[in-house]
Structure 1
């Protein structure tokens, strides 16, 4: 606080500081743009810190990472950026460590699973800002008409999909392996099959026996039997799958919390259950986090830390999470949300968080590997596709990228 307040006074002074924050937009309209959220946070902060101005620029998720990269490449890094990846900047020594900016109580309050995902070689650089997990959504009306119950195993899921197809449901199970977010759907399935993207801290395991078996099953038991709908999984994007669900055309799909509000607004009755696994509900779930980063370039570490302590207060974390149907990234806010009646809809997702597995975002190679998964994984489930060949090629790509990154 002393560093922040040193330049404060009735008329300001030469020590006044302007902090620049680049943030992503989580809203789906002008009415709930993230700009409104940040305007409220900044107004409250600046009121008590007259020596500090916080300048926030909000970009869509389609643009924010590229905008920040362009600023950094031009030698004009913001003080803070709320983005999707941090490892490249950490590897280039452009970021403050989390412990060098936020206070000890704030650092200790991050949900442990998310804090761990924000680390590079055991040191936290990425501070989780928003998180979500995935559950299997099912159309309650279509299930009732087919006389079926929500699945707990893969075999039950396939059996339910067959019953839905027999009743003319367009997408018995929607499998979005298109380029928008194939890495998410893929990881959810791999985890439910006992695999994943990484087997150890230092290597990828894309072509593990468990992963190949999972995609063999998807190809043979779902896609090959016409249970995934009229659009080839490799061409089906998440947004289109969600839109089909809210139109009542999908029996089942993996979804995150924002799908609840979208489905309710269209009058779709739905239920949610943990992702089925081989012999029961999956033992781990996909967890996704977005990251707050603090750049060293302008030397505003003390002021950044004081502002972020305010941003990560229980009140502000809860307000953001409730506005955008996301999970809190702090333990204190999670405890409130877990008990509050108004948050009952998010509770099933919150319960998945301790069991969740994140992308290997602490690796500088991940961005390139993720791009290749988005581009190629849909080919594994085509009629002429070979899961072993596709996953093997991806493993080679990942291993090469890992070696090139020096990790």
Structure 2
């Protein structure tokens, strides 16, 4: 899916400039494709900036990262790319720093957790574009029938899952550790068990005692007791788990904002609470951000910066966030959303953003580690699986990727 959106330079006496942007599609149909969002934004920008033309090509999330890599490898880097990762391009010195292109007020407006995650060795290259967090969704109808209340701790969650299973719920707790997005569910559980992908020094610590304990608990207390449904967690993808929740087959799962509309469309009565942790509500939750990058190959530093300042205006950030049930990446837009009645359903996620931790995306090794987690982590909770062995194996991959071997 490609949209070429026309116009014409930054000021009347500058040469005509065409900026090329490759962007991801957040829509789930032609009627709400991101192409429509960009078309409207570009049309408004170009009306105010004769002499600058913006060409936007929009691709599905299945294709967009590969498309940008192909362009870069062919020596045809776009001026900007709105994609899932940035650190490998930063490591090759292909990107402008954020402060090379953004005005000081715009860069200072980013939510601090997101700005920090956009840094490589203390320098910001990744500009957050869209964010989300996770909370525990639960089916109110199933919970009322089972006579239970939303869980606050792992023990609560296990007891609730037992009660839901007794009531015949297909997936008492849906645990999607399949290859689509296993790295998300994995990190959510690691954080709730006081672990994570890295330690406080930023060094990979996948096989830490905390992470081993977390996956041992999952294997023994949920999966081993038949509380995660008919599909093995290692084969259950996030999209399928969400679809099952929207069909009323799931008692509980970790979800992000897009699940709200899907469940509401199917008339599922649901509630949302903070993620349960090992000793009560988890102290931190998973935050996810997608990234805007600015490539140096074509020059156009001034024009890119002017356009991105416009993209990150509160009005445009809010419009995008509201259209796709995502969280604003700027403090000014977040403040507006936290007070606006129309955004009240997003407030639980907005509150969690301030407690969130993001993937270690500043490491150029993260792509390899994420791929290994997707491939292997389901085995840690499978019958006969060994959490120690699986996590140690992923840790070995992480150490190799960090050293460049």
Task: Bin the TM-score by the shorter chain.
Answer: over 0.9
TM-score, with length taken from structure 1: 0.97
> Where does residue 4 of structure 2 map in the other structure?
none
* Partner SS for 1:337: helix
> Where does residue 5 of structure 1 map in the other structure?
10
> Where does residue 335 of structure 1 map in the other structure?
335
Deviating above 2 A after TM superposition, structure 1's stretches of 4 or more consecutive aligned residues are none
- The answer to whether the 8 Å contact 2:10/2:303 transfers is no
State how far apart, in whole Å, the 1-side matches of 2:147 and 2:203 are: 45
* Partner SS for 1:211: helix
> Where does residue 150 of structure 2 map in the other structure?
150
> Where does residue 34 of structure 2 map in the other structure?
34
Task: Note the alpha carbon deviations across 1:273-327, whole angstroms, 9 max, x for none.
Answer: 0000011100000000000000000001100000000000000000000000000
1:158-169 residue pairs with structure 2 within 5 A? 158-169=158-169
State how far apart, in whole Å, the 2-side matches of 1:324 and 1:167 are: 34
- The answer to whether the 8 Å contact 1:203/1:399 transfers is no
> Where does residue 300 of structure 1 map in the other structure?
300
Is 1:86 the counterpart of 2:86? The answer is yes
1:247-396 residue pairs with structure 2 within 5 A? 247-396=247-396
> Where does residue 189 of structure 1 map in the other structure?
189
Is 1:22 the counterpart of 2:22? The answer is yes
Task: Note the alpha carbon deviations across 1:8-58, whole angstroms, 9 max, x for none.
Answer: 26xxx7x10000000000000011000000000000000000010000000
* Partner SS for 1:41: helix
Structure 2: gaps of 5 or more residues: 1-8
> Where does residue 131 of structure 2 map in the other structure?
131
1:43-192 residue pairs with structure 2 within 5 A? 43-192=43-192
TM-score, with length taken from structure 2: 0.97
- The answer to whether the 8 Å contact 1:257/1:325 transfers is yes
Structure 1: gaps of 5 or more residues: none
Aligned length: 397
Is 1:245 the counterpart of 2:245? The answer is yes
Task: Note the alpha carbon deviations across 1:120-148, whole angstroms, 9 max, x for none.
Answer: 00000000000000000000000000000
- The answer to whether the 8 Å contact 1:95/1:296 transfers is yes
- The answer to whether the 8 Å contact 2:172/2:227 transfers is yes
Task: Note the alpha carbon deviations across 1:44-82, whole angstroms, 9 max, x for none.
Answer: 000000010000000000000000000000000000000
State how far apart, in whole Å, the 2-side matches of 1:157 and 1:138 are: 11
> Where does residue 5 of structure 2 map in the other structure?
none
Offset at residue 201 of structure 1 (A): 3.9
Offset at residue 202 of structure 1 (A): 4.4
State how far apart, in whole Å, the 2-side matches of 1:202 and 1:70 are: 30
State how far apart, in whole Å, the 2-side matches of 1:354 and 1:243 are: 28
> Where does residue 230 of structure 1 map in the other structure?
230
- The answer to whether the 8 Å contact 1:98/1:127 transfers is yes
Offset at residue 200 of structure 1 (A): 3.7
State how far apart, in whole Å, the 1-side matches of 2:88 and 2:189 are: 28
CA RMSD between the two structures? 0.9
Task: Note the alpha carbon deviations across 1:189-247, whole angstroms, 9 max, x for none.
Answer: 00000000000444200000000000000000000000000000000000110010000
* Partner SS for 2:254: strand
* Partner SS for 1:178: coil
> Where does residue 203 of structure 1 map in the other structure?
203
State how far apart, in whole Å, the 2-side matches of 1:243 and 1:339 are: 31
State how far apart, in whole Å, the 2-side matches of 1:203 and 1:279 are: 25
